[in-house]
Amino acid sequence: MKDKDTNRDDGSIIFGSSQMREPAPAEFIPKHGTPAETAYQIVKDETFPQTQPRLNLATFVTTYMDDYGTRLMNEAVGVNYIDETEYPRVAVMCGRCINMVANMWNTPEKGDWKTGALGIGSSEACMLGGVAAWLRWRERRKSEGKPYDKPNLVMSTAYQVVWEKFCQLWQIEMRTVPITHKNPTLDINEAISMCDENTICVVPIMGVTWTGMNDDVQALDNALDKFNRKTGYDIPIHVDAASGGFIMPFLNPDKKWDFRLKWVLSISTSGHKYGLVYPGLGWVVWKDKKYLPKEMAFSVNYLGANITQVGLNFSRPAAQVLGQYYNFIHLGMDGYRAIHANSMDIAHYCHHSIGRIPCFRNYADKLDNPLFIWYLDPEYDKTAKWTLFDLQDKLMESGWMVPAYTMPKDIEDMVVMRIVVRQGMSRDMADMLIADIKSAVAELEKLEYPTPSRVAAINAEKQKGKVYTH
Ligand SMILES: *Cc1c(COP(=O)(O)O)cnc(C)c1O
């Protein structure tokens, strides 16, 4: 390809090439190719203005792995997990990971291979747990000669969106217990009062996405036990432990929320959240083979052992399994504990520092997980010219992504801001963040006129007839 100004043929001068003068392909596959170096540069630069992943405090998902973990994953990038015949050792590794996750959650299941599955994330893992609960319920209803066309599921309004998807896709009625300021986690009595003969399961959350708090699974288990005994139902629990599943075993091992509880029959988690693997990886484990409906399981025995395969996807990357197995071997229980204890420590430090800034109030006094939310002091809020959405924008200027959002249904008036502390966030970074928050607030306080987001908030309040003093 000749360059029109210089008449050069040399495609190796990347920024001297004709492609760098052209708009990037957006609609059609280009007729001719582009030299690798230039194509690489174009693609790379497209991502240039984005947030640095480690400054993204909005995500729960891993943004740092060490060099060896990264290398292993890169080296396996061409391996398709589903080709178990060609890559049987990956399937064995996956089985070992399921064993370790199951034992980490105190499974009572004996035998060489525990019952579980890998997923692309918690979403797939939650779906599999939900489907299994639905099929078990349906089987039971059929055997009793009762109708099985109106299944429902009970959880709090602070559910992650996957549960809405699950209920929509499988046509299961979603019964939600409101999260309120008085009851910031799943209200157990309310949950029980929503259960009936058509309830496929109750889904408490360890590490609620909206607040970082844990539902009280043990109290739910007790209440459900009484209810099941009284009614003759056998409504089980699926724990959505997307974040908490990899926190509790290390930081709070004595707390019972897992298979030590009678009605907890399945648990899901994200290997790519506090399992410390790059996306996407999820795990779901059942308490015993008998809780995994046969229709969902596909057994293979060519690996020298019976391995049960379950999943929504067929093809999927294998690299994440290598990353997880590497983390288990390299970090060990001690390593996971050390990393998560540091995250918790830094989260406490941020929580404390933010709580001391006069215009803020922390949502909770104590942290269940290394993440927390806070809001504008209600008195301050009445006269402020800015909102937390403005603060989010301001912090973007120094590279941080700290999200502001409205709370779920019933308390959707409340705007909060959240920080998720993960491996890769040091005390020094926390100090930089706190300093940036303080100077952003100082700048916002100098505003003479309300920001557009504040004006919108004032108008919304006016419509409700509230008094405001701006
Ligand atoms: C993140 C999350 C999910 C979805 O998990 P992915 O791994 O992103 O698919 C489900 N439930 C909860 C509570 C979560 O925090």
What count of other Cβ atoms lies within 10 Å of the Cβ of residue 36? 9
Residue 205 identity: I
Is the CB of residue 398 less than 8 Å from the CB of residue 443?
no
Residue 467: the pLDDT is 54
- Give the number of other Cβ atoms within 10 Å of residue 196's Cβ: 13
Q: Where are the domains of the chain?
A: 1-49, 71-328, 340-463
Looking at the DSSP bridge assignments, the partners of residue 309 are: 298
CA 146-151-154 angle, 5° bins: 135
d(CA 205, CA 189): 16
Best residue among 122, 257, 316 to mutate for probing ligand 1's pocket (most ligand atoms within 8 Å of CB) is 122
Q: DSSP secondary structure string, 274-314?
A: TT---S--EEEEESSGGGS-GGG-EEE-TTSS-EEE--S-S
Give just the sign of the alpha carbon dihedral 272, 277, 281, 282.
negative
pLDDT score, position 302: 62
Tokens, residue 190: 């309310």
pLDDT of residue 5: 60
Instruction: Provide Rg for the chain, Cα atoms.
Output: 25
Cβ contacts of 290 within 8 Å, gap of 6 or more: none
> 158 CB under 6 A from ligand 1?
no
| Residue whose C-alpha is closest to residue 470's, from 377, 375, 385, 360 | 385
For the chain, the farthest-separated pair of C-alpha atoms sits apart, in whole angstroms, at 87
**Residues 6 or more apart from 31 whose CB is under 8 A from it?**
none
* pLDDT score recorded for residue 50: 85
Cis peptide preceding 116, ω within 30 of 0:
no
Pocket mutation for ligand 1, best pick of 63, 155, 160 (most atoms within 8 Å of C-beta)? 160
Q: Which atom of ligand 1 is nearest to the CA of 279?
A: 7
Number of H helices, E strands in the chain: 13, 13
2.60.40.1190, 3.40.50.150, 3.40.50.720, 3.90.1150.160: CATH of 340-463? 3.90.1150.160
Closest Cα partner for 319 from 18, 94, 85? Answer: 94
Is 3.40.920.10 the CATH classification of the domain at 71-328? Answer: no
**318 contacts 90 by C-beta, under 8 angstroms:** yes
Cβ-contact 228, 237 below 8 angstroms: no
The finding on whether 60 has its CB within 6 A of some atom of ligand 1 is yes
Q: Whose CA is nearest to atom 3 of ligand 1?
A: 122
Atom of ligand 1 nearest to the CA of 124: 9
- Kindly list the distances between the CA atom of residue 288 and the CA atoms of 10, 108, 246, 292, in Å, as whole numbers in the listed order: 64, 8, 20, 7
Query: What's the predicted TM-score (pTM) here?
Result: 0.94
Find where tokens 């109030």 sit: 361
Q: CA–CA separation, 2 vs 4, rounded Å?
A: 6
pLDDT of residue 438: 98
pLDDT given for residue 309 in this prediction: 78
Rounded distance, CA 453 to CA 470, Å? 13
Place of tokens 């797939």: 124
Measured in angstroms, how far is the CA atom of residue 192 from the centroid of ligand 1? Answer: 24
Evaluate: CB of 267 within 6 angstroms of ligand 1.
no
Q: Is the CB of 282 under 6 A from ligand 1?
A: yes
**Single-letter code of the amino acid located at 385:** K
pLDDT of residue 469: 52
Low pLDDT (below 50) residues in the chain: 1
Instruction: Give CA 286 to chain center in angstroms.
Output: 20
Q: Chain-centre distance of CA 143, in angstroms? A: 37
